[in-house]
Amino acid sequence: MIAFHIDMNIAQFTRPYLEKWLRDLSRLGYDTIIWEVENNIAWETCPECVSPDAFSKEEFNSLLALSRELGLEPIPLLQTIGHCEYVLKHDKYQYLAENDGKIDQYCPRKPELMPFLHKWVEEYLELFGDVRYFHIGADEAWSLGSCPACQAYAKEHSLSHLFIDHVNEVCEPLIAKNITPIIWADMVLHHNEALHLLSRNIMLFDWMYDIYHGNGKVYVWGGKQRLCSKDELPPETLERFGKHLFPHGDEPGREPKTFYTADFLAAEGFRVVTCPSSSSYRDNVFSPRNYYHMANTFDSTHKGIQPHLNGAVLTSWTVHLFPWELQLACIDMPGFIADRPTEPIEKYQRKFLKDRFGVEKDEAFWEACGLLSKSCLFTHTQSLSFTKEAFSVPLDHAEKEIAKILEGGQLEDELSNCEARLAEYRQALSLFDVFAGKASKGQDILDWWLLAGRNLVNRAEASIFLLQKAKVQTPDNGHGQKILEDMQALRDETEAAYAPIIKPSRRKEIIAWLYASVEHALVIVVG
């Protein structure tokens, strides 16, 4: 399996954009699409959650038909415990929540939940038709065991039992139909005491985006999960995973195996697929951490195609807002690896530049991408205050964030970071300009990078201006007005660029998340 993950939690893609990308992905060597459609189909099981711009089932059926014609096997993904914000945000479904007033997770002990989920699975199967696999999500259920009923169950058994019992029950009807259920592997790695009870009919998607060979650390699950060096590995981790971390012994000079969890899960009798990402947490909202994701994708994909494993899935989480065009360096990679498994990443980079831009070798492109990979104030989902919940961001958010920075004594640090980033963003634009002069094709891709660079320059300028005004209250001399006008022009340009990609109602929301609170703060200060 060499799969691409289409996430429509945030990005509600247009039909022509998806059709174009299905053709591209087939040409690039993918054979599978993971469809995480959420509220973007006119569901009957949960009509309240359906997006205003959702596909009709007939429209989506045409995408599935095209996918199959192109040799791209479709796999539906329905979240069945965590990441159910789009459902639980509606009062009608709050009775299914783990915690009253919260929308992150279903309660696995609610008797009404399983019939609801099984009904929705059936509706998915009616739409998707004959499928070999069905992904039930099950990642990042961090509220697990917090309600009284779940606490009591976990106390009698364990959190691991609570989670695995729920997953097994969701999967039973699928297994009865000879459909292989799939889950993300993080929660069974984190709560692995009852792993022996998880059905071996279930396939595990082992994701981790912050690791690659040579970074000197591995990701540790259980307890306080984190990246650890060899000397920081907890005793319980060594006890549970030691022979997979150090298959040849832990003598001096041997480092732990980066993707040890895939080997562990395979040894436990599961079919395992590795999952890198081209977009993930800590990316800024205008461009990805390009080489960071490339290194992860290169190494994770190589791991997944080893004979004892079952392939790789490139995930792309659209909560970070930038389009697939800025993720091409990762998206193009799996096909190269399948064709040339022994070639180093440097060879891939050269081929990418030649294929996409007609340039034989030029480090300027990669350097420019790297300079845009960094973040400053109001370039990250956290500092802009939006999440997968997809709620509106208050117009006064940026003003309040500046006030918190001032009160916390962090103004000088934030100002220094913004100034350093501004210089790097400007340098990136200069490098892209030089590279564009050498490129014989791919101008549409470079246009996206240049738009990202100009947005980041403007955002750094705006942040510096707002921080300085918070520090010293002085009249604006026209500089702030110029930054505001530039932002308004960039907002309109970015919305126009997104018009062929994202459906209208969600596009309006995305533009508001990106710009509204910062623009409002500038208007207040400029007067």
Say how far apart CA 383 and CA 321 lie, in whole Å.
Answer: 14
User: pLDDT tens digit string along 342-376?
Assistant: 999 999 999 999 999 999 888 899 999 999 999 99
Q: Quote the CA–CA distance of 72 and 66 in Å, as a whole number.
A: 9
pTM: 0.95
H-run or E-run covering 122:
helix 113-128
pLDDT given at position 471: 82
For residue 475, is pLDDT > 80?
no
Q: Alpha-carbon distance 113 to 324, whole Å?
A: 35
443-447 average pLDDT score: 97
Does residue 382 register a pLDDT over 80? yes
335 domain-assigned:
yes
Are residues 326 and 390 located together in one domain of the fold? no
Tell me the CATH number at 52: 3.20.20.80
Within a domain: 448: no
Over residues 505-522, the mean pLDDT reads 97
Q: Do 215 and 346 belong together in one domain?
A: yes
Query: Is residue 446, in this structure, part of any structural domain at all?
Result: no
Mean pLDDT of the region 423-446: 96
Q: Is the pLDDT of residue 120 over 90?
A: yes
Tell me, what's the pLDDT at 357? 97
Q: Please tell me the predicted confidence (pLDDT) of residue 477.
A: 78
Shared domain check, 390 and 355: no
Which structural domain range is residue 97 located in?
Answer: 2-359
Residue 75 contacts residue 127 (beta carbons within 8 Å): no
Tell me which of 331, 359, 387 is where a domain ends: 359
- Measure the CA–CA gap between 253 and 236, rounded to whole angstroms: 22
Antiparallel, parallel or unpaired: β 133-135 and 203-207: unpaired
Do 134 and 163 share a structural domain? Answer: yes
- Distance between CA atoms of residues 34 and 91, nearest Å: 29
For position 360, what pLDDT does the model report?
87
Q: Is 35 left (phi over 0), alpha (psi -120 to 50) or beta?
A: beta
Q: Residue 364 falls within a domain, yes or no?
A: no
Rounded average pLDDT over 367-390? 95
**209: in domain:** yes
Tally of domains within the chain? 2
Same domain, 388 and 341: no
Residues 355 and 378 grouped into a single domain: no
Label residue 472 by pLDDT band (50, 70, 90).
confident
**Closest C-alpha to 139, from 187, 192, 208:** 187
Q: How far apart are CA 157 and CA 161, in angstroms?
A: 6
Same domain, yes or no, for 459 and 484? yes
86-100, 152-166, 274-288, 473-487: which range is least confident on average?
A: 473-487
**Confidence (pLDDT) at 216:** 85
In this structure, the answer to whether residues 460 and 389 fall within a common structural domain is yes
- Domain membership of residue 443 (yes or no) is no
What is the longest distance spanned by two Cα atoms in the chain?
Answer: 71
Instruction: List, as one string, the DSSP characters of 272-310.
Output: EEEE-EEE-TT--SSS--HHHHHHHHHHHHHHHTSTTS-
Do both 100 and 174 map to the same domain? yes
Mean pLDDT, residues 332-351 taken together: 95
Mean pLDDT, residues 489-509: 97
144, pLDDT greater than 90 = yes
312 occurs within a structural domain: yes
The contacts found for 361-366 with CB under 8 angstroms, 24 or more apart, are 362/435, 362/438, 364/431, 364/432, 364/434, 364/435, 365/431, 365/432, 365/435, 366/290, 366/291
Last residue of a domain, one of 332, 359, 386: 359
Predicted confidence at residue 97, as pLDDT, reads: 97
pLDDT over 90 at 478, yes or no: no
Check residue 361 and give its pLDDT. 82
Find out whether 243 and 231 touch, Cβ atoms under 8 Å.
no
Q: Are residues 190 and 231 located together in one domain of the fold?
A: yes
Whole-Å CA distances, 359 to 323, 352, 434: 23, 9, 12
Mean pLDDT of the chain: 95
pLDDT > 90 fraction of the chain, expressed in percent and rounded: 94
pLDDT, tens only, 38-84:
999 999 999 999 999 999 999 999 999 999 999 999 999 999 999 99
Q: What's the pLDDT at 126? A: 98
The yes-or-no verdict on residue 460 having pLDDT over 80 is yes
Residue 444 domain-assigned (yes or no): no
Final residue before a domain boundary, out of 359, 382, 410: 359
Confidence of residue 413 (pLDDT cuts 50, 70, 90): very high
Same domain, yes or no: 316 and 414: no
Say which range, 170-179, 354-363, 509-518, has the weakest mean pLDDT.
354-363
Q: Kindly state whether residues 286 and 392 are assigned to the same domain.
A: no
